[in-house]
Structures are given as structure tokens and as C-alpha cells.
Chain A
């Protein structure tokens, strides 16, 4: 029994590093979905503006429209960039999730701190047959992660895998 005891020195440089992981991208459908939902809001805003212009045809409305178009142009750029930044990686003992284009964020959640895992599907998600994997910890909303744009089967597989890992850790 004594010879199983190990107490190696911990060398910081040798610890597995979360940055150098090969991150899995999310489905391309997520990008299309984000573009479509942005387009829907653009259409709604444009309809509103044209109604306004119909009743009150001042130059001001045109300037506002130009500003709105500029804003949405920037949003399109951001949405595409943002969807490309999503990435997740499963390790033996934790899950790493990165997202964000302007503010790049990476969250690492060890399996032994996960409270529960679930999958969710919005209306557009159902249309595109993708779903979101939600992982909750006791660390409040800032510490929970939602991985969007996963194929439903894949999401279910990852969920099962995590649940199993979490249970293994608990036992």
C-alpha cells in the first residue's frame, strides 16, 4: 500500500496548459442562425423607419436610417467574427470554452465543480436543428457556460459524457 504513495514535485511549466488545446468549432449552422436573427431585427427596424418616413418625410429620418444601416453593417461583421470565435475542448478533468471577438473569454470548468448539465433549443435552433449545451456551477451566472450551435446528437453525447465524468468524480 505504501508504494502507491506518490508525492512528485509540481513544476508549473509541466502542468497541462489550457491555452494550447485544439478547440472544436461549433456548427456552421450557428453562424447562419445568428445572421438570420440579426436580419430579422434589421427588417423590423427598417419597416419601422419606412412607416415613419411615410408620415414624416424629413431629412432627419434619412440620416437616422443611414446611421442604423451603418450600425447593422458593423453588427454583421461582429456576428460573423463572433461565431468564428466559439470553441470548446473536453479534457479528462474539465471542459474549456472560449468565445468573444472583441473581448476574448475563456472559461475552464472542472468536472468536480459542475452542478448540472442540460441542453436547450430555441425556436430558431429547432428550425436549424442545433442546440445549446448549458453547464451550471455553483459560481453564479458568470461561471456558467452555454455552448451554442451543437448538433443535437453531439450535444446529447457531450452531455452524457460530462454527466458520467461528474458522477465518476463524485464517487
Chain B
């Protein structure tokens, strides 16, 4: 009977997979040799050495082809329905066998990068919840097989315990027809995507640019600058670089940097979220997005531990909310387990929310704000750059321009204080009957929502200088990272007891 079940027999990937293995291993070995490549292109190389290099390259290519063939042949996977495991054997030199029990499978999703798109295959990624955080990638499957595998595995994952199976079954029989029919669907149009890019934080784009430029400059420094060149440069500095020149340069460079930052951010957003589509079906939420790597994820509500909504005023005006779903992950938290979905209008956000948490928002709420001690602490931290700047000035420049420094301090202090004050005012923590909600952010407002029963544990901290003031720092541990809240009055402790009570009386599975 098992013969009829999909993937019960050991199988290989699609044959074009060989090409994929070849390209990726070639890329890996060439990445280590890129300096050599640059040397060939830029440096002067005599004929004989070039011959050696060409022969070496051909040998490497032949070796890689043979390797790819064997790697393909030995990459065998199947589903063992008897033992409830997914089994993968692989390895050319050292063979290894990975067995993933169904109950440890978190997510099964499809992905394709540019190359996989070109040769028309899909990558199936099986994410697991192990303390090692291991995952399995099957890099080349046809669409049909990839879909089948995802479906077969997700079906098994959906019924991890007997109790669940019963519920699942009754649901299936009643709504088998409706199961795949979407309840609602949201697609991000290209216009919205561009507006989203323009309204996202450009600083990141500028930052990327600076890092990129910095690393290029460093390469040039190492390769091109000899002493002679340095001497030339110095004399050039002396002749051309005057104060006027610097100011003009700054006037041009700063706006230019800003514009490039905007462009980079927009392009990045465009590539990352192109064709974003969110579909709600009976049991799960499906997300598809990406231009370069097209990702398709099937989300189960109960795997989501932390739900984050963030928005800045411009985006609020455009009605484009950003949503982040953090999934359970027993290894240390990585960005990979946080799924970001940008550009959702308010109404879709509330639909996602009601998908995640069936319980509606309740009226009962207790709101906590941090003590003003936190504001003082933030201000002291805010003074740090000023002091460091002054120290650097004092050490490296001989003269102190008092007027200049005074005016900078007079601008910096009030601006810093205002920002810190309103940032501090924006922080609060809400306990409702079922949820824990933390709000932060002055410009980029962030709301983190956790269903209390999904907490793993709670830590209460008290530095000794908080004792007389009756203040505490709280850390709520979830399976996908911590939520911290600082300097709050002792009357919050009864809500800590309430949280523990909620966890301990909850019968619902947290993942």
C-alpha cells in the first residue's frame, strides 16, 4: 500500500540538477580564487604561466563535472511513512544520512534563484526545529514533484498527534473541497512596490553604499597604491583641496548620496518583494514573493510566535504596513526565521492578525510605562557620541574652535533630548487577557504582539540600585527570541504571575 504513497521510494532530483551542482561547486571553488582572476586580468602574465593556468582550469572543470555527477547520483531522498521520517542520503566522499521525524518539521517551502528559474526547477527547503537548527535543501525538482513533496510532507506534519489528527480528519471530510480554495488574497502591485521602496528607511541604502564603497576603496588601496602614487596624491591634496572645495564637494556629495541611497533601497525592495502575494486558505497562509529568488512559504498559525507590525508616518499616509512573523526556532534566533511581509493595507493586517490569533482583542488592558530612570539612561548614552567626538577632536586636532563647538553642542543637546524624550514616551507594554503587546518607536512605530500562552519562560531582573525604587527589568522568552522591557514599577509583577498562570493552564500547543 505504501507504493501508492508519494515519495515512499528512494528518488533522485531532476537530471538538470547535475548542472546546478556543477555551477554552485564551480562558483564555490572560483570564489576562493577570485584574486587569481583579478591578477590575470589586471596583471602582466607571461605565456607559460597562462598555459599552466588554462590547463589547471580545464582539469578543475573536469574534476567538478565528475564530482557533480556523483553528488547527483548519491543525493537520494524518500519519505519513510512507517517511521514517520523524511530520509536523505548524500555525500560523495563521506556519505551521510539525515532522518527528520515529521514532528520536527517546521516548514516546507519552495524557492528558486535565477539559475533555478532558468533551468525551470524548484528548490524544496525543509526547516526543522532541532537544537542544531539543521535544515534540508533539495535543490532541483520539477514544479510538479516539488509541489507533491511539499504537500506530502505538510500533510504529515499537520497531524503530529492523535488528537490533532482527529480534528484534521473531520475538517478534511467536511471541507475537503474547500480546502484549497482561498478565503482571501492580496497581491502587491508594482506601483505599490515602488511607493513602498520610496517610503522605506533610506539610511540602510546609504549604509550599504558606504560599506560597498569602503570595501572597493580598500581593494584599490591594497592593489594599486604604491608609494609613488601616494606622493602624487598628497601633492594633489595640497594644491586642490581647499576649504571651498571641500564645502562644494559636501554640497554635491550629501544629496547625491541621499539620492543613491533612495535608489538602492527602492531597487532592493523591488527585487526582494516583487510579485508578493498573500493567500489565506482554510488551514494556512501562503506567501509568495521575490524577483531573484522566488520564495513560496506555507505558514501555519501556530508556528508563529511573535507578530510584529511596523510603520512610519509616510507609510501610514500611504497605508502600507510592514508585518513580520517570527517562527519557532530552538537554535539561536536568526533573521531567516523571521518572515517579513511589507506593503499591507490596514485591513489585510487585521486579517492576518485574525488568522494568527483567533481570539479577538479584548477590552481588559493594563498598560505599563517605563520609569523616567530609563529616559535618564538613554540621555546619558546619547551624550556618549558628543564626548567621544570632543575627545577625538582634542587628541587629533591642535586647536579648539570654541564657537564652533559651542554651537554644535547647542544644536545637538536639545535635538537629542527631544528625540530621546519622545522615544521614551512611545514605549509601553500592554497586558490584555490573552496577549502581550509592546509598542516602541518614534518615527518607525513598532508593535510586537505575543499570545501569552506561547511564552516559554519569564525572567525578572533587578539591579541593586533599582531595589529602593521598586523597579524591574523583564524578559519574556519565546521560541523565536526575547521581548525585553526595562525599568518598570513593581505592580507589574502580578501580571508576571498572570502570564505564568496563563502558560501553565494552557492546553494549546505552542507550536
**Interface, chain A (partner B; CB < 8 A):** 10, 12-13, 15-19, 93-94, 100-113, 115, 136-143
Cβ A105 vs Cβ B459 within 8 A: yes
Cβ B504 vs Cβ A12 within 8 A: no
B457 within 8 A of partner (CB): yes
Cβ B504 vs Cβ A110 within 8 A: yes
Cβ A140 vs Cβ B332 within 8 A: yes
Flag B125-148 by CB within 8 Å of A: 1 or 0 each. 000010100000000000000000
Name the B residues within 8 Å of A109 (CB-CB). Answer: 456-457
Once bound together, how far apart are the Cα atoms of A105 and B458, in whole Å? 10
Which residue of A has the minimal Cβ distance to B491?
Answer: A12
Cβ B494 vs Cβ A17 within 8 A: yes
Name the A residues within 8 Å of B131 (CB-CB). Answer: 115, 136
Cβ B460 vs Cβ A138 within 8 A: no
B198 to chain A, nearest CB (A): 36
Question: Can you give 8 contacting A-B residue pairs, CB < 8 Å?
Answer: A15-B498, A16-B501, A94-B500, A94-B504, A108-B458, A137-B457, A138-B129, A139-B478
B479 within 8 A of partner (CB): yes
Flag B456-479 by CB within 8 Å of A: 1 or 0 each. 111111111000000000010111
Once bound together, how far apart are the Cα atoms of A142 and B459, in whole Å? 9
Once bound together, how far apart are the Cα atoms of A140 and B475, in whole Å? 12
Name the B residues within 8 Å of A13 (CB-CB). Answer: 494
What's the count of A-B pairs with C-beta under 8 Å?
102
A132 to chain B, nearest CB (A): 18
Cβ B497 vs Cβ A137 within 8 A: no
Flag B306-341 by CB within 8 Å of A: 1 or 0 each. 000000000000000000000010101100000000
Q: Which of A17, A100, A105, A140 contacts B477 (CB 8 A)?
A: A140
Name the A residues within 8 Å of B458 (CB-CB). Answer: 107-108
Q: Which of A12, A19, A103, A107 contacts B457 (CB 8 A)?
A: A107
Q: Which of B456, B464, B493 contacts A139 (CB 8 A)?
A: B456
Q: A10-B498, A103-B463, A109-B457 are in contact. List 6 more A-B contacts (CB 8 A).
A: A13-B494, A104-B462, A104-B463, A108-B500, A139-B455, A139-B477
A86 to chain B, nearest CB (A): 15
On whether A138 and B497 interact (CB within 8 A), knowing A105-B460, A110-B503, the answer reads no
Which residue of A has the minimal Cβ distance to B460?
Answer: A106
Q: Which of B455, B459, B504 contacts A106 (CB 8 A)?
A: B459
Cβ B459 vs Cβ A107 within 8 A: yes
Cβ A104 vs Cβ B461 within 8 A: yes
A149 to chain B, nearest CB (A): 20
B511 to chain A, nearest CB (A): 8
Once bound together, how far apart are the Cα atoms of A103 and B332, in whole Å? 23
Name the B residues within 8 Å of A108 (CB-CB). Answer: 457-459, 496, 500
Cβ B500 vs Cβ A142 within 8 A: no
B6 within 8 A of partner (CB): no
Name the A residues within 8 Å of B495 (CB-CB). Answer: 12
Cβ B328 vs Cβ A138 within 8 A: yes
B477 to chain A, nearest CB (A): 3
Name the B residues within 8 Å of A110 (CB-CB). Answer: 457, 500, 503-504
Name the B residues within 8 Å of A17 (CB-CB). Answer: 493-494, 497
Once bound together, how far apart are the Cα atoms of A69 and B79, in whole Å? 63
- Residue in A93, A103, A113 whose Cβ sees the most chain B Cβ within 10 Å: A113
